[in-house]
Amino acid sequence: MGLVLNDIAATTELKTDDLVNGVIEWASIESPSLDANAVNRMVDQVKLEFETAGLEIERTPGEDGWGDLIRGRAPGSMRANKGILVVSHIDTVHPIGTKETGNPIRIEGDKLYGPGTYDMKAGAYIAFYAYKRLIEEGGESKLPITFMYVPEEERGSPYSRKFIAEEARKAKYVLVTEPARDGGKVVVERKGSARYKIVAEGRPAHSGSKHEYGRSAIKEIAKHICDIEAWTDYDRGVTFNVGVITGGSGVNVVPQHCALEVDSRFVRLGDGQEFETKLLSLAPYDPDVTLKVTGGIMRPPMEATDAILGLFERARAYSQEHDLDLEYTSRTGGGSDGNLTAAEGVPTLDGLGADGYGAHQLDEHIYISSLKPRARTWMKLIERLD
């Protein structure tokens, strides 16, 4: 309509102090995934800030004990054309109290420490801050934009996944605020993941007087551990990790119960599916022992398609205008909600959050110097993507 393009994202002043204070405020509201009340305190905070930025809010009550899911849409975002979906999670892996004892919130030089700072309160904050500043300066996005903050990503988004997929199908691009990797790199591909639980039930017996009558569930599970671990094939990009075993009731009892839990990662969906079939149809070695296998693929792999690499190139060009040169990391084993959106065929760029170190660790921190250039890149993506 003859409007001159205002390149607000390139010229707006961004203040590191504002970013730091925002991240500290969000990190101070501790929000472990399994504590719905705590997560909802964080949702309250997000809601407040969404309202000040004029976003239209949709708060979906959590089910099955999860916190709420909150979406903020720019006014007019319900219009028909496909837009930008920003996906963040506001839960963390850290229990309440970590900010006081485990990893006190503090600044040491360029490092801002605190539970969930890196994964991913900072990323969640800078994306929103970039949008807020754009609006404050009278700018707007070319495309409809929706911010979606998920309450249980660290648990695999069992509740949110259907909403994530649904929103992704309405989007032209998905931007994910997970932490940057390996020195500020973004993520264009991720392995898929699967989880399984195998429960064996044998027959208990006195190990002294009736050993021959017993059927050991532990012995059964032990054989499967060796089989499953041996399926790991690094060249094929497939790994299996039996991370948990439980079983037995006493050293003088042939064990009736034993269970294992296994986490699997894979580069190709076909491999994930092949092993899913294999695991779900596992037969017991001992015909007198029963096996029950549950689980399956949690997140399909995110593959670096041409569309994803194209989106990356745009982000990179934007970053280069302001002293940042975004690169992408080679495939990462960790999954995220980006796997779910990419599986819907929507170009997804992940790892656009803050640079830092120590996700899920007690020395978790972000680099303060990474906040402003990344917020700037966010602002450009939000203003310019079309």
Q: Which residues bind Zn ion (CB under 5 A)?
A: 119-120, 178
Contact 145, 128 (CB under 8 A): no
Tokens of 54: 């004029």
CB of 106 to Zn ion, least distance (A): 22
Of the pair 8, 188, the CB lying nearest Zn ion is at 188
CB of 178 to Zn ion, least distance (A): 5
Of the pair 89, 133, the CB lying nearest Zn ion is at 89
Of the pair 120, 297, the CB lying nearest Zn ion is at 120
**What is the layout of strands, in order, in the sheet containing 106-108?**
106-108, 111-113, 365-367, 356-357
CB of 98 to Zn ion, least distance (A): 16
d(CA 337, CA 316): 22
CB of 275 to Zn ion, least distance (A): 25
Q: Which residues contact 155 (CB under 8 A, 6 or more apart)?
A: 33, 34, 91
CB of 153 to Zn ion, least distance (A): 6
d(CA 199, CA 188): 36
CB of 156 to Zn ion, least distance (A): 11
Q: Which residues contact 53 (CB under 8 A, 6 or more apart)?
A: 72, 128, 131, 132, 135
Contact 67, 151 (CB under 8 A): yes
Of the pair 90, 134, the CB lying nearest Zn ion is at 90
CB of 185 to Zn ion, least distance (A): 15
Of the pair 94, 215, the CB lying nearest Zn ion is at 94
The pairs formed by 327-332 with CB atoms below 8 angstroms and a separation of 24 or more are: 327/184, 327/185, 327/186, 328/185, 328/186, 328/187, 328/188, 328/304, 329/181, 329/182, 329/185, 329/186, 329/187, 330/189, 331/189, 331/190, 331/191, 331/237, 331/267, 332/181, 332/187, 332/189, 332/190, 332/191
Of the pair 88, 141, the CB lying nearest Zn ion is at 88
Of the pair 89, 224, the CB lying nearest Zn ion is at 89
Contact 193, 338 (CB under 8 A): no
